[in-house]
Amino acid sequence: MATIRTATERAAKSARSEPGVVRNNRPARWLHAALYVTTTALLVTGWWLRTGHEGEPSVLAELFDSPDTDVHETAGWVLLGIGVAGPLLGIRGTVTFLRETFRVDRGDGAWFWRWPRGAVTGRFGRHRGHFDPGQRIANVAFVATLGTLVVTGVMLTTLSGGSTFATMVRVHRVATYVLTALVAGHLVITLGLLPGYRGVWRAMHFRGRVPEATARRVWPASVASDRRSEATQQL
Tens digit of pLDDT for each residue in 20-48?
A: 898 999 999 999 999 999 999 999 999 99
Say how far apart CA 60 and CA 49 lie, in whole Å. Answer: 12
Q: Is the model more confident about 215 or about 1?
A: 215
Specify the number of domains making up the chain: 1
Domain-embedded: residue 50: yes
> pLDDT, tens digit, for every residue of 182-209?
999 999 999 999 999 999 999 998 888 9
List alpha helices for 90-211, DSSP H. 91-101, 108-121, 133-158, 163-190
Q: CA 20, 39, 62: angle at the middle one, nearest 5?
A: 120
pLDDT at 2: 45
Say how far apart CA 235 and CA 10 lie, in whole Å. Answer: 14
pLDDT at 13: 47
pLDDT band at 228 (very low <50, low <70, confident <90, very high): low
Say how far apart CA 135 and CA 82 lie, in whole Å. Answer: 21
Domain-embedded: residue 48: yes
Say how far apart CA 190 and CA 172 lie, in whole Å. Answer: 26
Say how far apart CA 150 and CA 38 lie, in whole Å. Answer: 12
Domain-embedded: residue 179: yes
pLDDT at 15: 44
Domain-embedded: residue 5: no
- By percentage, how much of the chain surpasses pLDDT 90? 79
Contact 144, 175 (CB under 8 A): no
Domain-embedded: residue 169: yes
> What is the CATH number for 50?
1.20.950.20
pTM of the model: 0.86
Domain-embedded: residue 8: no
Domain-embedded: residue 203: yes
Domain that holds residue 179: 18-234
Domain-embedded: residue 3: no
pLDDT band at 7 (very low <50, low <70, confident <90, very high): very low
Task: List the helix and strand counts (H, then E) for the chain.
Answer: 10, 2
| 219: Cα separation from own chain's centroid | 16
Say how far apart CA 155 and CA 233 lie, in whole Å. Answer: 49
